[in-house]
């Protein structure tokens, strides 16, 4: 069941893109973590938002603070919304497991997106994205509280989630030259999200 559910995530977000956009909260409970992330970036930083959805509220918050966004999402319907809302930025249809980008980024975000991948695929995405990072880059992503696979519901359909354990993430990040500088398990002020903030510590 887990393999089928994991492989169906992209199709769900494509089929129910409008429902997702309507239901996505704009209250920005993520603001404290985004502020911590942005505090490490230079002015007019380049940010890669992996699994950007329709660009709200995460990308919008970064854009309104003067940063340049490149968003990637496998749902063409969601990317079309991004292009309509934020035409001065770069929005790409693609699978974040197959990052093929021609530039490096000061900031990397995978908010409520990485955890829709299998544990093995999460490692691939983290490794590839870190290779697209500048020497002082910062990475922000959400995961689960421990190594697990779980199944939620989205528009009446099964929605896959997975996570590695803290030590596994720490080792993957360290191999890519990143150090975890902030971490919170099931942050209740942020909807119960488990959050990692990491900064490049070596090239």
Per-residue pLDDT of the chain (203 residues; tens, 9 = 90+): 567 888 899 999 999 999 999 999 998 999 999 999 999 999 999 999 999 999 999 999 999 999 999 999 999 999 999 999 999 999 999 999 998 898 999 999 999 999 999 999 999 999 999 999 999 999 999 999 999 999 999 999 999 999 999 999 999 999 999 999 999 999 999 999 999 999 999 76
Ramachandran category for residue 130: left, alpha or beta (phi over 0 → left; psi -120 to 50 → alpha): alpha
Instruction: Tell me which residue has tokens 């999460």.
Output: 122
- Quick check: 113 and 50 in contact, CB under 8 A? yes
pLDDT of residue 114: 96
Burial of 88 (0-12, 13-18, 19+ CB in 10 A): exposed
Task: Tell me the CA distances in angstroms from 43 to 13, 18, 53, one per residue in order.
Answer: 33, 33, 24
List phi, psi (to 5°) of 155. 50, 40
Q: What is the largest CA-CA distance in the chain?
A: 45
Instruction: Tell me which residue has tokens 């488990």.
Output: 194
């Amino acid at each position: 069941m887990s393999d089928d559910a994991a492989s169906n995530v992209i199709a769900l977000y494509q089929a129910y893109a409008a429902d997702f956009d309507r239901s996505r909260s704009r209250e920005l409970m993520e603001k404290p973590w985004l502020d911590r992330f942005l505090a490490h970036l230079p002015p007019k930083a380049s940010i890669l938002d992996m699994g950007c959805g329709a660009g709200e509220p995460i990308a919008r918050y970064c854009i309104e603070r003067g940063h340049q966004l490149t968003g990637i999402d496998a749902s063409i319907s969601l990317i079309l919304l991004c292009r309509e809302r934020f035409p001065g930025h770069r929005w790409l249809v693609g699978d974040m497991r197959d990052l093929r980008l021609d530039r490096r980024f000061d900031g990397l975000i995978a908010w409520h997106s990485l955890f829709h991948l299998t544990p093995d695929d999460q490692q691939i995405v983290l490794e590839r994205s870190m290779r697209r990072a500048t020497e002082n880059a910062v990475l922000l992503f959400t995961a689960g509280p421990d190594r697990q696979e779980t199944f939620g519901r989205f528009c009446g359909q099964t929605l896959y989630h997975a996570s590695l354990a803290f030590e596994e993430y720490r080792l993957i990040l360290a191999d890519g030259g990143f150090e975890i500088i902030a971490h919170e398990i099931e942050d209740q002020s942020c909807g119960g999200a488990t959050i990692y903030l990491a900064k490049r510590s070596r090239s």
